[in-house]
Structures are given as structure tokens and as C-alpha cells.
Amino acid sequence: MAVATRSVTADQADAPRRRLGARGTITAARVLVALVVVGGWELAARLTVLDPFFFSQPSDVARLLREWLVSGEILDDLVVTVGEAFGALLIGTILGLITGFLLARSPFLDAVFAPYVKLLNAVPRVVLAPIFLLWFGLGEASKVAFGVSLVFFVVFFNTYQGVREVDRVLVDSVRMLGANERQLARHVLVPSALAWIFSGLRVSIGFAIVGAVVGEYLGASRGVGYVIAQAQGVFDTTGVFAGIVLLSVVVGLIDVVVHRLERHLLRWKPERTQGFQPS
């Protein structure tokens, strides 16, 4: 027992110290990369190595962004876009969870529906956008529908996998402790699938935004995608870049919040190493 306790504390004490030393260097290198890319772009545009008409330049993009934020006009569009994405995320996640759970737990439903799910997933989603525009109109509903068609499959496949990959012996063990099917789902299947569902959720958020923006781009009267499309229509590259930067920042912020939440909910897991999430 003493050995185990010692090894745990030793691991915990050593790891952060090692990481802390590296962290400073990593942060410095990250800032450097940003400076080189943004600075290089600015410089190239000023020296007209890059044509500012097609490539704009960071200082102009920053100026326009500030204008937008100060006047507040972009906030209405942002609220519309984020609202559409949130709707798509909510509906797509709920549908994906339910379908994933049902198909993973019922061999019959799985056998019947699996080929159709695969078939639908194989449809390039962009070709659905015109149909959704016809069905749901130019308003927000068509963007939500488009987002759902993207989000659903990510959540579905992750839930399906998560529920199926549950250790057989865990299920047997909890059954022997007296669990019925509902209790089994609550105590074993859902928590075990949670890690998968969350890694899917973070990808889904990106997809939900994609759904909203592409939908707006193809036909809308409001939203960040609409703003970008308008800017592109008048060859305003600065406007296009400003829209892109704005979206990246918003998605990045949302991702940080979700990651925090995930870390809290999955705190029982041993710490993972940093890096790209498989998706």
C-alpha cells in the first residue's frame, strides 16, 4: 500500500515540474510563429509582394474588426449565426445520442438501419443545402437543418462506438450487482460513452458553425456567413478576412469552455498527454 501511495505522489510531483519548464519555451515559440506569419503577411502586403486587393493585410482586418465591434452592427449577425449553430448542435446531438444508443443496444435495429445511416452519411452535405433552402426558406430554420445534417452523424458515430466499446466484463459485473437495463445504462453505458460523446461534441461544434455559415453564404439576409458573402460580392477581401477571424475566435472560445467542462466531467480519467484530439 505504501508503495502505491509513494508512486502516485512521485508521479504527480514530477510531471508538472517537467512540464512547467517546457511550457515557457512552448509559449514563446507559439507567439513567435504568430508574429512571423502575421508580420510576414503585413510586410508582404505593404511591399506589395502580395496584392492587398486580393490578400488584404492584418492591420486593415484589425481596423475593420474594431469598427464592427465598436458600432456593434456585427453583433446582431454573430448572435444569429451562433444561435443557428446552437440550435443545430442541440437538435443534432439529441437525435445522434438517441439513434446511437438504440442502434448500439439493439442488434435488430442496427442490422436494419446501419446501411441507411452509412448511405446518408455518404451524401456530400453541401448538395443538401439547396433542398433545405427550398423546404425551410431563407430564414434561420434552413441553416439549423443544414447544421443538424452535419452534427447528427458525428454524435451518432461517437455514441454508437462509445456504447459498443463498453467492456463486457464491466457490464456483467454491474448486472451481477443487480442492475436492470435502465440502471445499466445510467451507471455503465452512459458514463463510458461520455468520453466518446465529448470528443464528438467538440468536433460537432465546429460542424454546427460550418452548417450555419455555409447556409448563410448560400442564401440569407442575416448572419456572419451573409456578411462574408456580401463582402466577397464587392471584392472586399478585408471584410472576408475579418469575418473569418471573428468566427475562428468565437469557435475557439466556445471550444475552451467545452474543454473545461469535459475535463470536469471526465476527471476520473488518468491525465492524457497534450496533442490533437482524434475525431
Instruction: Among 105, 164, 187, 222, indicate the residue that binds other proteins (CB under 8 A).
Output: 187
Contact 140, 83 (CB under 8 A): yes
Considering the complex, what minimum distance in angstroms separates the CB of residue 110 from other proteins? 20
Contact 259, 199 (CB under 8 A): no
Alpha-carbon distance 234 to 279, whole Å?
Answer: 37
Write the interaction track for other proteins spanning residues 2-31; mark x where CB under 8 A is met and - where it is not. Answer: -xx---x-----------------------
Stretch that binds other proteins, among 65-73, 140-148, 185-193, 253-261 (CB under 8 A): 185-193
Q: In the structure grid, which three cell numbers stand for residue 241, read together? A: 478576412
Instruction: Among 24, 72, 270, 275, indicate the residue that binds other proteins (CB under 8 A).
Output: 270
Contact 75, 224 (CB under 8 A): no
* DSSP H or E segment with residue 231: helix 224-233
Nearer CB in complex with other proteins: 76/167: 167
Measured CA distances, 52 to 8, 43, 179 (Å): 57, 11, 66
Residue for grid cell 475579418:
242
Stretch that binds other proteins, among 20-28, 64-72, 96-104, 173-181 (CB under 8 A): 173-181
Considering the complex, what minimum distance in angstroms separates the CB of residue 267 from other proteins? 8
Instruction: Among 91, 95, 128, 179, indicate the residue that binds other proteins (CB under 8 A).
Output: 179
Write the interaction track for other proteins spanning residues 110-149; mark x where CB under 8 A is met and - where it is not. Answer: ----------------------------------------
* DSSP H or E segment with residue 184: helix 181-184
Alpha-carbon distance 222 to 228, whole Å?
Answer: 10
Alpha-carbon distance 146 to 152, whole Å?
Answer: 10
Stretch that binds other proteins, among 108-116, 146-154, 241-249, 267-275 (CB under 8 A): 267-275
Nearer CB in complex with other proteins: 189/227: 189
Q: What is the CA radius of gyration of the chain?
A: 23
Alpha-carbon distance 82 to 205, whole Å?
Answer: 10
Contact 215, 143 (CB under 8 A): yes
Stretch that binds other proteins, among 82-90, 145-153, 157-165, 166-174 (CB under 8 A): 166-174
Nearer CB in complex with other proteins: 134/176: 176
Contact between 176 and other proteins by CB under 8 A: the answer reads yes
Stretch that binds other proteins, among 143-151, 201-209, 235-243, 263-271 (CB under 8 A): 263-271
Amino acid at 203: V
Catalog residues that contact other proteins under the rule CB under 8 A: 1, 3-4, 8, 167, 169-170, 172-179, 183, 187-188, 191-192, 194, 266-270
